[in-house]
Amino acid sequence: MQEKEIEVPIVDPRELYGSNDQRLAIIKKHFAKLRIVARGNVIKIAGDPAEIERFEGKFAELIAHMESFNSIDEHQLLNILQSGMPTTFRSDKAEILVFGPAGLQVRARTENQQCIVDAAKTNDMVFAVGPAGTGKTYTAVALAVRALKNKEVKRIILTRPAVEAGESLGFLPGDLKEKLDPYLQPLYDALMDMVHYDKLADWMEKGTIQIAPLAFMRGRTLDKAFVILDEAQNTTIPQMKMFLTRMGSSAKFVITGDESQVDLPNRQPSGLVKAVKLLDKTEGIAIVKLDGRDVIRHRLVKKVITAFEIDERGKS
């Protein structure tokens, strides 16, 4: 039997343990083979060395989450404890990509998110493909904001295809911008996490950050820019070809999407699926595949994804 003490760094232990130690009780239940005693900001653990090592990995993920979001609820706690990510990845040790407002530290939180970060260092074009909630867009936006702040690029361009997911643009009120803004809202949300509101407003007013539907990219040469194509599964093959050929000599492209959520009408083939197949193993282009282990939303999202994946495999 091995004994070890772990200090709770930076974060408030009371927030980690929860009211009446409710969250601590969940942690203890998850590691039932260990004896766990918490005293203030020190946790004493005793048991099998391999189980202690597993505990340390999960505990590091919990601390990293709290450092980033200043809180953790039961759903998020269970999501981290039950995730299948290997404990060799320490999100608390991952490099900080961006310091957001109020001290928010944005960094890769899963191994595959770190693969996106690493791929962008050595490739000018990166495809990040995986299900909803895996942090594809969030990680890409963080890389773009870092590149802009470090003066590696002069502007950020964020784009999405304006494809209705079971809804019709024509029936939405307002002008074109007002109709399209709901489709682009996830990009705004990510930016607001990483850039102070006044600075973000200034950058958008000056065109340093541009958010526009994919159709607006036609005819442009996107150079000295970090360009993100989000929801790329909803591009047609001609649209994907158009977008990829907009790349200037000093640009960085990240393309994100979920091949299982194609909303194109009339069963048109997805440009993302085609591009990933054609460009796999192309020098200078990296393709990162994310999966259910990377989901960092509500714990039920992972179960939903798994259920649909099993159903799809049964039909194929």
Domain 102-315 in the same topology as domain 2-82: no
Q: What is the pLDDT of residue 181?
A: 66
Locate the domains of the chain by residue range: 2-82, 102-315
- Among left, alpha and beta (phi > 0; psi -120 to 50; other), residue 151 is left
pLDDT, greater one: 111 or 229: 229
**Structure tokens given for 30:** 């998850």
Span of 40-44, 123-127, 284-288 with lowest mean pLDDT? 40-44
Span of 45-49, 59-63, 202-206 with lowest mean pLDDT? 59-63
pLDDT, greater one: 41 or 277: 277
The CATH fold assigned to 102-315 is: Rossmann fold (3.40.50)
Q: What is the pLDDT of residue 303?
A: 74
Q: What are the start-end ranges of the H helices in 135-235?
A: 136-149, 176-194, 197-206
Q: What is the pLDDT of residue 257?
A: 95
Q: What is the pLDDT of residue 178?
A: 61
Nearest by Cα to 256 from 116, 128, 111, 121: 128
| Mean of pLDDT values over 113-124 | 94
| Residue 3 CA from chain centroid, whole number | 36
Q: Are 32 and 81 in contact (CB under 8 A)?
A: no
Q: What is the mean pLDDT of the chain?
A: 84
Task: Evaluate whether the domain defined by 2-82 bears CATH number 3.30.1370.10.
Answer: yes
Q: What is the pLDDT of residue 167?
A: 38
Could you count the other beta carbons within 10 Å of the beta carbon of residue 13?
15
pLDDT, greater one: 181 or 284: 284
Check whether 89 has a pLDDT greater than 80: no
